[in-house]
Structure 1
């Protein structure tokens, strides 16, 4: 993978480990010469991630809708900034520029981005590695909910193979590098082909 889109919070959260892991991920991407594609903000976990990547000489592409410039405060030091008209355009632009995706801790926006990219994977619209960085068990409740969805037969077992989840940056990146997109033709099973 030459580029990874990272979804994460524009807030810092109250757990110092989240900030530490954001910095670690940014540094690791730079060291691996993997371009960071992210939401373009200079604040919160997004800012920490971008700053750490830049500090190690990494390439950082920020994608932000114009209306969020005053809320999330666009990062002025990134390699490239792309302004979009809407959130939908932002997510599409990020997905097109990335060869893989990582969800770090975040709020509603991060959860929505993760759910959307998993859905795109389920539908066969993206066939790229998806990783969840489970800092201090942040995503444990989501995994419990996914198991609940499976038990209620609203997702299938093979849908859980659309992503890898790890609590360690290096292990997650290594697993994503060797990740094989599911051979299951989800589009065919859904009657889309």
Structure 2
């Protein structure tokens, strides 16, 4: 577990506070993006994804789930091709994983898109998954040029007049 830096949402209490302090005390870089203003949320997420090598969701609440599904959606579109890992401590995410299995079974998510999410029950397993990760999003979405100018232009064109 050497040479692993941390980019995260910036909270300094609870589990993330403990993890960030441990990483920092271990001599690694810790970059916290804590921007409390609602208007800056999208910029914060985009910046975090640019500076990270993986997205790891630990047992948390609505904010984590919202960010998790946004990253999964970006991966499905071919915009984000880094590991998306659920740290499934004490089977916390089992119900969510079962739900995703059901949605795939019913045909709402393609079978190969199901592999965007990797689950690990322990930190050591998570590290191994990071080492062995290979994006497998073929046929999910075409690789498009997702620069911000094109996105702004396409959004402007889609506004009804």
Q: What TM-score results when the alignment is normalised by the length of structure 1?
A: 0.70
User: Whole-Å Cα distance in 2 between the matches of residues 117 and 67 of structure 1?
Assistant: 21
Instruction: Tell me the distance in 1 between the aligned counterparts of 2:79 and 2:21.
Output: 31
**Consecutive unaligned residues in structure 1, runs of 5 or more:** 1-27, 69-84
Partner of 1:4: none
Show the 5 A alignment for 1:91-110.
91-110=45-64
Q: How far apart, in 1, do the equivalents of 2:59 and 2:36 lie?
A: 24
Q: Which has the larger radius of gyration?
A: 2
> Looking at both structures, which has the greater relative contact order when contacts are Cα pairs under 8 Å and sequence separation is at least 6?
1
| 2:29 pairs with one of 59, 62, 70 | 59
Is the counterpart of residue 42 in structure 1 residue 12 in structure 2? yes
State the TM-score, normalized to the length of structure 2.
Answer: 0.83
Runs (4+) of structure 1 moved beyond 4 Å? none
Equivalent pairs, count: 144
Structure 1 residue 53, shift from structure 2 partner: 0.9
Q: Larger strand proportion, structure 1 or 2?
A: 1
Unaligned regions of 5+ residues in structure 2, if any? 144-161
Partner of 2:114: 160
What's the counterpart of residue 148 of structure 2?
none
Aligned residue in 2 for 1:89: 43
Q: CA RMSD in A?
A: 1.9
